[in-house]
Amino acid sequence: MFDSVIHWFDRLRFQLSRSDALPLLSVLGLVTGFLAGGVIVLFRLFVEGFQADMLPGGHPENYEGLPPLLRLVLPIAGGLLLGLVFTRLAKGDYVLGIARVMERLVYHQGYLSLRSFLLQFLGAAIAIISGHSVGREGPHVYLGAASGSLLGQRLSLPNNSIRTLVGCGTAAGISASFDTPLAGVIFALEVVMMEYTLVSFIPIILAAVSANSLSLLIFEGERVFDIGIMQLGSLHELMFILLLGIVAGVAAAAYVHLIDKISDRSRQIPFWIRTTLAGVVIGLIALWLPQVMGIGYDTVNTIMLGEMGLSLLILLLIAKLVATSASIGLGIPGGTIGPALFIGATVGGIIAPLPGLLFNGTVSDPAVYVLIGMGAVMGAALQGPLAALTAVIELAHNPEIIMPGMLAIVIASLISSELFGKSSMFHTLLQATGLNYHTDPVMQSLRRTGAARFMNRNFAQVSPLIKRQTAQMLLEDAPEWLVISNDDDSLTLMPGVDLVRAVKEQQDDEIDLQEIPATRYELAPLKMQATLQEALEQLDDSRAEALYIEWFDNQHFWRIQGILTRSQIESAYRF
């Protein structure tokens, strides 16, 4: 019974190595969504419960109610604690969040460790509770992606399937954060995985829906932003939407630039000093502007109601830029999306009164400009315009916001990328911290498919010396390849047709496969879970000419399961 279950799992794993294993991946996507959603709900309950107990009035974001001395000391203490924890436990892995997920997808097949999962949970909780200017969405994405990765690793799934589960966890993180399941799907595909395929699209949708359902159930439909029925003005206001896009693009470029410079110039400073210094910066700013502490969604809701003066909005824009750049650039393990939304909200709040000064009659509600500003800065900073637009639409629940939202987000993205030459926040953060990021369509295609999908199972494993009768019996099965087990435990690959020729031409009772005229290839090992990208890299690194793929047999012994050559990898890509 146990052996049959193992055999059944092995067959499922082989099926998942295909790039079109949609039904199985859909089930796994659904499971990943519930798992990631549960982790994110647990994180929110932990952080918000701690904040409610600590802050005046029991409000999770009421840092404004703290005495000035506590506003100064709290982030410094949090930064010092983070520095000590990470110095002790991180083992040099200081970059977490969405940037780290992207790096692990490109270079490590989406493998995320339990240690980094726990560090992200604890580190982000300390950062947010102690009032650092960071968001929760980045940690949510990392926790969701790590949940999918750890599930795939636990089940020994092929690496191409683990990549998809990481995408599922990413979508779950965004979906459960904002109640925006579609934005979560687009974000996972556009920003993190950077691919749109049916085999990943459907599992990711199921993950986003399941995580969102769980979040709505636990938090009883509580919305992040208090957005009522928004009134849109006339088309004449498009000139102000255009202006909003320009200002948002400049703000996004400044945001990315500051984080880049601070990260780059502080890289050599010990980590605990950096995080403590970040706490000092936040504490000093919070003495005068406590709204910059924490995620700041309560302040965003106030801006949406148009209840904040122009001078305060300008000060908050500058202060949030500096505070978040210091927090992220100096290594605080929090998210960058929440602060981008805060910055965009201040930009929208600054522009919102202008139409009323120029036009008579009805103009758009301030919430329209605030929401579009949030999407514009998010889209420009992340270079994910479609994800930002989808988030705006889902938050607004009003399709009329699509056209002005598209205009502002595209203009802001172009200003940031083309005028100021800024790439995605996450790419910039990886490069500034010494990690590289590069991908291309060929590698993306190879990562989507397991090597086992294209391995050749028509082979026979033999010793170098075989009897003529044994060779004849062996050739009755017409093996395409012969794997020769040498005396030094190395393996050599030989086409089966060369043995056919030797049997016909030689009359000796014993045939030496190392001596007969034949084409021979050096072999290197490859695990069954590997993708075609890993297979190609193994060929290049080992300088072998072919690979043998290993996995457990029906008796759970380690055996060769198939042969993969470079030409098969190339034909797989064309296929």
Domains located in the chain, CATH noted:
19-226 (1.10.3080.10), 235-432 (1.10.3080.10), 449-574 (3.10.580.10)
The percent of residues in the chain predicted with pLDDT above 70, rounded, is 90
Neighbour count for residue 247 (Cβ, 10 Å): 23
| Sign of the C-alpha dihedral computed for residues 439, 444, 446 and 452 taken in this order | positive
Q: Which two tokens stand for residue 72?
A: 């100064």
74-83, 169-178, 390-399 — which is least confidently predicted? Answer: 390-399
Spatial contact of 38 and 213, defined as CB atoms under 8 Å apart: no
Q: Which two tokens stand for residue 208?
A: 């986003």
* CA–CA distance, 242 with 50 (Å, rounded to integer): 42
pLDDT range class, residue 2, cuts 50, 70, 90: very low
* Longest CA span, the chain: 104
Whether residue 152 has pLDDT greater than 50: yes
Between 298 and 321, residue with greater pLDDT: 321
What mean pLDDT comes out for the span 247-253? 97
Side by side, which strands form the sheet with 558-565?
459-462, 481-485, 491-495, 521-527, 546-552, 558-565
Q: Considering the chain, what is the average pLDDT of its residues?
A: 86
Alpha helices (H) along 398-512: 402-414, 425-432, 441-447, 468-475, 496-505
pLDDT range class, residue 291, cuts 50, 70, 90: very high
pTM listed for this prediction: 0.85
Rg (CA), the chain: 28
* CA–CA distance, 572 with 575 (Å, rounded to integer): 5
- 3-state secondary structure string, 115-130? HHHHHHHHHHHHHHHC
Neighbour count for residue 250 (Cβ, 10 Å): 18
